[in-house]
Chains A and B, each alone.
Chain A
Amino acid sequence: MSLLVKNIIRFILFILLQVYVLSQIPPLHQFITPYLYFLFILWLPFSISRFSLMLVAFFLGMTLDYFLNTPGLHAAPCVLIAYLRPFLINILISQEGAELNYAEPSIKSMGFAPYSLYVLVFTFLHHFYLVLIEWLHFGNFIYFLGKVTATTGVSLLLIFITEMLFFRKQRFRTNTA
């Protein structure tokens, strides 16, 4: 399957999952909102340009926002993590030329520890910025701290489960092929 088709299907699935499953779950606590949709941005291929990466992220955020009736609330954090993604990937990639040999970030292409750090940092950043915007509208500092930590924890758990369930086989690409 071509990269484009694969990512379009992924986009639709992530949005539907977020809107009709994760946002429908009765809240366990006011601090806990499960988020998974931004994993789409983390899974985009290495080869995508920074301009289109940000544009896709903005589009993803706005699509979700129009379902949840909060225009801009999720688009802003998505654009932030899309902007920072290339910097972190450059720092974290240990193997020489892994971004040329593999299609997209995964446990196999980056190694377990760097990939976990990559997911952890962006999950935290996404929630930090999202709750920060919410916090500026209302709320107190404890709400802010509690929600960032609890939501990050739940999201990490969900991402871990997703990675286990949908193990992405990455083909090693050589110049000859």
Chain B
Amino acid sequence: MKNIFVFIRRYFNFLFFLVLQIVSLVLLVQYNDTHEAAFAGVSNEVTGHINEQYNKIQNYFHLKENNRLLLEENTRLKNMMGINFEGPDSTRIAVLDSLIRDTLGRQRKYLWLPAKVVSNTISQQYNYITLHRGTEQGIKKDMAVICSQGVVGTVIDVSENYSRVMSLLHRNSKVSSMLKKSRVAGTVEWDGKDPHYLTLKNIPKSTPVAKGDSVVTSNYSANFPSDIIVGTVVEVLKDPSSNFYIIRLRAATNFYSLEYVNLVENVQWAEQRRLEAVPVKNQ
């Protein structure tokens, strides 16, 4: 027994070194597995607050660009408004409102919320975005994040006032997408190299693909509404080892200057998941 204490005293520094190493590696591995580290909530609040202070200054330098983007989006939305369309039949007026059910009896599926970006990285291999909106303002895990230019990412952690988004520029990010022309679905990933380019995988070689084709979110994606732009095809590579293409996309979103984004909640997803969790009968 005495020898053990002597041993510990003698090699105290080395043992302490090992303990710290193990603690940091365990934290890292756990975090990458689950994205729910023990302190995620607390640290989110603290770092989020500091990021916000910094962001207040940074915002002034992007006001001009932001105005332009808002104007563009406004014009696009105004063009889609009901009053721009006139039909001979009065039963076909499009109605926009925030009710659960519209006048034609259709159920609401997607709910949009605005949020401000307070922190954003692009230079890491795992990039995250922090938004100043949390559980108290109606954010839930797995909500889709979209900006006026295109898809941004998915919410992975939420605290009371902030939420953390896994950006499309993340090694583990996968978004179900399809080619707009042929409606063939695949997965969009990021190879960790250039924040301007994404990779589209799992498109069979029988599909016609051309440079410049648009890639949009697919109708199988549960959290993203379909037909939101992800990017445009710049290069089509054939994977010799499989029957699929590897398609390089130019990302529609400019990740360098994100300021305001929209969060989209699929309010019917819980029901869909409940059905899909039931084991299949009668097979």
Verify if A76 is at the interface (C-beta below 8 Å from B): yes
Instruction: List chain A residues, Cβ under 8 A from B256.
Output: 26
Instruction: List chain A residues, Cβ under 8 A from B39.
Output: 66, 71
B13, A79: Cβ atoms under 8 Å?
A: no
Instruction: List chain B residues, Cβ under 8 A from A116.
Output: none
Closest A-chain residue to B166, C-beta based? A69
Verify if B16 is at the interface (C-beta below 8 Å from A): yes
Encode contact with A along B10-28: 1 for CB under 8 Å, 0 otherwise: 0011101100110111111
Closest A-chain residue to B119, C-beta based? A67
Closest B-chain residue to A71, C-beta based? B27
A23 and B51 CA atoms in complex are apart in Å by 13
A75, B24: Cβ atoms under 8 Å?
A: yes
A139 and B125 CA atoms in complex are apart in Å by 10
B171, A137: Cβ atoms under 8 Å?
A: yes
Interface of A is mostly: helix
**A27 contact from B17, B46, B122, B128, Cβ within 8 A:** B122
Instruction: List chain B residues, Cβ under 8 A from A26.
Output: 122-123, 195, 256
Encode contact with B along A31-69: 1 for CB under 8 Å, 0 otherwise: 001000000000000000011001100100110001111
B122, A79: Cβ atoms under 8 Å?
A: no
A interface, size bucket: 20 to 34
Residues 156-174 (chain B) with a chain A CB within 8 angstroms: 164, 171
A69 and B195 CA atoms in complex are apart in Å by 18
A76, B128: Cβ atoms under 8 Å?
A: no
Verify if B47 is at the interface (C-beta below 8 Å from A): yes
Verify if A70 is at the interface (C-beta below 8 Å from B): yes
A80 and B18 CA atoms in complex are apart in Å by 9
A69, B126: Cβ atoms under 8 Å?
A: yes
Provide a sorted-by-A list of 6 A–B residue pairs whose CB atoms are within 8 angstroms: A66-B39, A69-B126, A70-B31, A80-B17, A80-B21, A138-B192
